[in-house]
Amino acid sequence: MTYVNFEGVCKSFEDGTVAVDDFNLEINEKEFVVLVGPSGCGKSTTLRMLAGLEKLTSGDIKISGNIVNELPPSVRDIGMVFQSYALYPHLNVRQNLSFGLSLQQGKDRLSDSDIEKRVDELAEILGIDDISEKMPKSLSGGQRQRVALGRALAKRPKVILMDEPLSNLDAKLRSQMRIEIRRLHEELGMTTLYVTHDQVEAMTLADRIVVMKKGKIQQVDHPLESYHNPSNTFVASFLGTPPMNMVAGKASKGTFIAIEKGESKTNFKKKLPDEYKSFEGDCFLGFRPENTSLNLNAKKGKFHVVGIESLGSESVIHLECSKIKISAILHRPDTSFNQRFIGTNLKIDIEITDEELRLFDSEGNSVIHK
């Protein structure tokens, strides 16, 4: 069942900045949706409009089928977690968790013993029951973020909004908290909208990701679907490290020929798979580095190795062939590769299977968006 709807939502600020442009999205009950995109693409503004912290310029936002455009944040049944933990510094962990509950009035009011019970449950789920008497200043970053999460969850809101909640943590803690947040989501099943510019967070947390650019949605899909079948070159290069290789060229009679400025003959040709054969004209050929195999013994290799990033379990091999720059991932590399190719004139060839090729038109849109 759909729980949150954005219908033609636009937001322009007084200075003329169009932050969000015709944003349409349905979020299902208990779904975990991640908004991802580069800085300034409108993620936080979208979240803030759902929270009631920012007015819409046009369009509608619905929660549970009701338009909430004019409703104040306090009655939207939403919990929020931000990058800065914003804990009450003079209250201990337990008091931070119970504070919001103790302010509830009317039908939402809980008895003191129910508040105690709920705080106990939350502290246990979040693994902070052993630090419940500690003050915020004596907590680690991860512990503070857990308390902030607990505070947002205490009222059992229907929707949880998170805006870059992990960006103040170091890499190891971020990865732990990612697992924790996903586990909590499975356990508590709250409808979640999560904002990040980190594509790893988006890929690992989301049921669906929404990729944004300059206020506009580029693609809404399951993370792996967006990764394997990006709707355009922006999504293709935003998701994945290193990004998808993109070679500019022309398609003609079922063959892709790279255009290399200033070169009279081309060094890179590729027969196109059936689904792209009818396409003619300027285009980009995309393929992921992990799907780019190296043929080290090719008689007529075309690519020079111009750099190697050794990461242990894999190496990223940077290759150039006149103006074409691509990267390939070599799994379980041994050091002899580096000695053999770096700084030498030896050339190697690349191989990509048909299933891994993606074609984009001159505007950057997928020729067939599967």
Which spans of this chain sit near ligand ATP (rule: CB under 6 A)? Answer: 13, 15, 17, 19, 37, 39-45, 197
**Nearest to ligand ATP of 49, 324 (CB atom):** 49
First to last CA, the chain: 25
* DSSP string covering 234-266: HHHHHSSSSPPEEEEEEEETTEEEE--TT-SS-
Q: How far is the CB of 53 from ligand ATP (least distance, A)?
A: 11
CB nearer to ligand ATP: give 11 or 185: 11
Q: Closer to ligand ATP at the Cβ: 76 or 197?
A: 197
Asked whether the beta carbons of 331 and 274 are under 8 A apart, the reply is: no
**Would you say 19 or 283 has its CB closer to ligand ATP?**
19
Compute the least distance from the CB of residue 311 to ligand ATP, in Å: 27
Task: Compute CA 19 distance to the chain's CA centroid, rounded to the nearest angstrom.
Answer: 19
Least Å distance between CB 55 and ligand ATP? 11
Nearest distance from C-beta of residue 37 to ligand ATP, angstroms: 6
Which residues neighbour 278 within 8 Å (Cβ) at sequence distance 6 or greater? none
Nearer to ligand ATP, 55 or 271 (CB): 55
> Between 36 and 348, whose beta carbon lies closer to ligand ATP?
36
Omega cis (within 30) before 242: yes
Which of residues 45 and 231 has its CB atom nearest to ligand ATP in the complex? 45
Angle between helices 141-153 and 112-126 (to 10 degrees): 140
| Neighbour tally for 137: CB within 10 Å | 9
HSE-CB at 63 with a 13 A cutoff on CA atoms is 21
Task: For the CB of residue 211, give the shortest distance to ligand ATP in the complex, in Å.
Answer: 12
Identity at 19, one-letter amino acid code: A
Number of helices (H) and strands (E) in the chain: give both, helices first: 9, 20
CB of 89 to ligand ATP, least distance (A): 25
Backbone torsions φ then ψ of 310, nearest 5 degrees: -90, 120
Measured from the CB of residue 200, what is the shortest distance to ligand ATP in angstroms?
15
The contacts of residue 114 (CB under 8 Å, 6+ apart) are none
